Chain A
C-alpha cells in the first residue's frame, strides 16, 4: 500500500512537470514588434458610492486616447452611469480630482458596454472572441497576432475573484483560462494586465499563458485604498494606485522615451500604503527596455515607397466604365468661421 502511494506521488509529479515543459517549449520570443494597439478598460462596480471606480477607468481611457489609441480600438465597459446620476451635483461630468480641473467624461467618451451589459459572460466572450453573430463591431475585440493589448480592471475584489455588478464574480482561474484562449487563437502579441482592486495580486496568480506582464495595486491580504474625498461631490473620487499612475501618464506624450519598468514602480508603499505587485515571469523582455508607448500609445511601423511599378495602359476602357452615380453630398463651408473672429 505504501509503495503504491509512493509510486502514485512520483507519477503525478512527473506528469505535471511534463506538462509544464511542453508549455515552455512553445513560448516564442517575439522577434517582430507589434503592429497595432488595443485597450480593454473595465469598471465592474455600480452604485453612487463607487464613483471612484468610474473615475479610475475614465482617467485611464483619457490617457490612452491622448497617447494615440483610437476609439475604434478601445473597448470601454462601465457598469453604472455616474455623470447622469441623479445624485451627481455636477451633472454630465466625472472628475478624478477634488480640484475638478479635468472633466474625464468630456464630450467624446465612447462607452461600448454600459450598465447591465457589463457581465462576466460578456467580458469572457469579448476576450475569447465568441460573441453572438450580429454583435456590432464596436463591441468586438478584433485583435490579431501583432496586437499589444492593455487590460485594465477596477472594482471590488477579493482573494481569487473580482466582483461584477454586486451579483456575480469572475474567478482568477476563469480569467487565466480566457487569456489562454486568447493566446491559443493568437489574439495578442503581448498583454499588459493592470488591476486596481483589493487583493489585486490574486487575480494574476493563476496566469499560465506567455507574454503577459501583470501589475496589481495590492498583494493578497492587503486592501487597496482610495485617495481622497471631494467634499463638493461627497464621495471618494479616485483610488491611490490609479491616481499615481495617472500622475505618471499625464506627464508624458507620444514621443516619450519612458519605459514600462518606470511605470511599474510608480506607486511606492509610502504613498500607496498597499504594496504594488508585479508579475513578470511570463514576459520575455526586460520591462526597463520596453517603451511605454508599446502598450499605452499607438505607433505603427512604416515603410517609404521609393518606386512605382510600371502600370500597363488601361486599353479596354469600355470594360471599365466610369459609372458616376449622382452625388448625394457636397462640401458646404461652415456657418461661422472662428478663425476670422479674432
Chain B
C-alpha cells in the first residue's frame, strides 16, 4: 500500500490486477452461483410449480364429429339410473279413503321397466300427499269442472314444491295421481269417454287426474282401476323416453338412440374439457382423471364400431361405461385444485424472493466477463 499516494489523492488505490492470487477463486465462486441458481434452480422451480397435467389423448378428444343438437327435442336427462316416484294426492282424506297400494301399481309398471332396463336402472318409489290442492282454478261447465291447457303448467309449479323429488341423487321421473274431491269431477280440456285425463311435462313427469264415482263417495272408500292407471302411467313413461310404442322394434330403437346419445355426450364432454384445458391455464389433470378419460375415449370408439356392425346391446354396454367415465372425469373435484393460484399470483409470490438474490449474481457476471477478457489478452 502506498500511503503517500493515498494522502495525495484521497482514495485507496486498488492493487494491480495480476497480483491478486485469489481472483480466480472468486471467479469460480461467481460461476458456481450462476450454475446453481440459474442453470439448475430456475428449471427446478419451473417444473415444481407448473400445473400438473398427466398425458392425455388430446387429438382423439378434439378430432370428433358431434351430432347437431339444435333441433333435437328435450327428453329426460341422460343418466345411468333413474327414480320413478309415484305420488298419490288425496286432498280430503277425512271424507274419502283411497284404497291403493304403491306395490300394486308397480306390478303394472314392472313389465315395461324390465323391457327398457338395458338403458338404465329404475328404482320405483311411492308416497302419499294429503290436504294438497291443485294450484289452478278450474272453470265450471254444467255439472263438471274443466282445466284448460294453458292452466296445466301452473298445476305443476306449486305441486313441485311438495313432492321432495330432489332427495335422491338420481334424476326423478314424477308420476302424480290426483284423486279429485267427491263433488268436483275434474277433466282436462273436455269431458269425453276416451279421455285419459292425463298430461305430462317431457322432462319432469306426468299427472293423472282420477275422479271417484258417486257410489264410492257415499261409502267413503274408493278403489281405483289399477289396470287402467297402470296403462296410463306406462304410456307417460314411454312418452318421456320418447318411444313411439312398446313393440320390440321400438325397444331396439330406444337402445340405439340411447347408445348414440351416450357416445355423443361422452365426446362432447371430452372435447369441451380439451378446449377448457387450452383456454384456462390453472386446471389440474391428475393421473386418476387421465385414466378415466382414456377409458372413456376407448369405450366410445368401441361402442361406435359395434353400432356400425349392428350389435346394439353390446354397443350400449360400452357406451354406458364411456358415459360414466367421462362424467366422472369432467366433474372430478381435483380439477380445481389450483383455483387460488393463478399465474400472475404465482409470479407475485416468487419474484420478491428470487429477484434480490438474482440481481447481485447477474451483476457479478459483468466482472466475470471482464476477467475472461483479460485472460484472453494475456494468453
Contacts and interface: CB of A to CB of B under 8 A. Distances in A.
Interface of A: 28-32, 35-36, 68, 70-72, 120-121, 124-125, 128-133, 137-138, 144-146, 174, 177, 180-181, 184-186, 254-255, 297-312, 314, 317, 320-325, 329, 331, 333-334
B161 A302 contact: no
A145 B73 CA distance: 11
5 contacts: A28-B69, A132-B333, A180-B279, A308-B235, A322-B104
A106 to B, nearest CB: 14
Contact of A331 (B130, B166, B204, B336): B130
Given A177-B280, A302-B156, A146 B203 contact: yes
B108 interface: yes
Which of under 10, 10 to 19, 20 to 34, or 35 or more describes the interface residues of B? Answer: 35 or more
Interface stretch (B52-60, B146-154, B292-300): B146-154
Nearest to A138: B166
B239 A322 contact: no
Given A36-B203, A138-B166, A324-B101, A309 B238 contact: yes
A311 B203 CA distance: 24
A130 B165 CA distance: 22
B272 interface: yes
Interface string B193-208: 0101011111110100
A308 B199 CA distance: 11
B47 interface: no
Given A137-B169, A304-B188, A312-B111, A185 B153 contact: no
Contacts of A322: 101, 103-104, 107
B205 to A, nearest CB: 10
Contacts of A129: 331
Contact of B232 (A30, A32, A308): A308
Contacts of B169: 137
B257 interface: no
Given A305-B196, A311-B234, 5 more contacts: A28-B69, A32-B74, A35-B203, A144-B77, A302-B153
Given A300-B204, A305-B196, A320 B101 contact: no
A34 B163 CA distance: 22
A308 B231 contact: yes
A302 B152 contact: yes
Contact of B110 (A310, A320, A329): A320
Given A184-B276, A322-B104, A323-B103, A300 B156 contact: yes
B94 A333 contact: yes
B164 to A, nearest CB: 8
Contacts of B374: none
A277 B294 CA distance: 45
Interface string B215-257: 0000000000001101110111011000001100000000000
B107 A301 contact: no
B311 interface: no
Contact of A304 (B72, B152, B331): B152
Given A28-B69, A331-B93, A185 B330 contact: yes
Contact of A311 (B165, B230, B273): B230
Given A137-B169, A309-B245, A303 B202 contact: yes
B286 interface: no
Closest 6 CB pairs of A and B: A184-B272, A72-B166, A68-B157, A300-B201, A311-B231, A70-B161
B255 to A, nearest CB: 19
Given A180-B279, A302-B149, A331-B93, A307 B196 contact: yes
Contacts of B335: 130
Contact of A185 (B108, B269, B333): B269
Contacts of B167: 137
A309 B166 contact: no
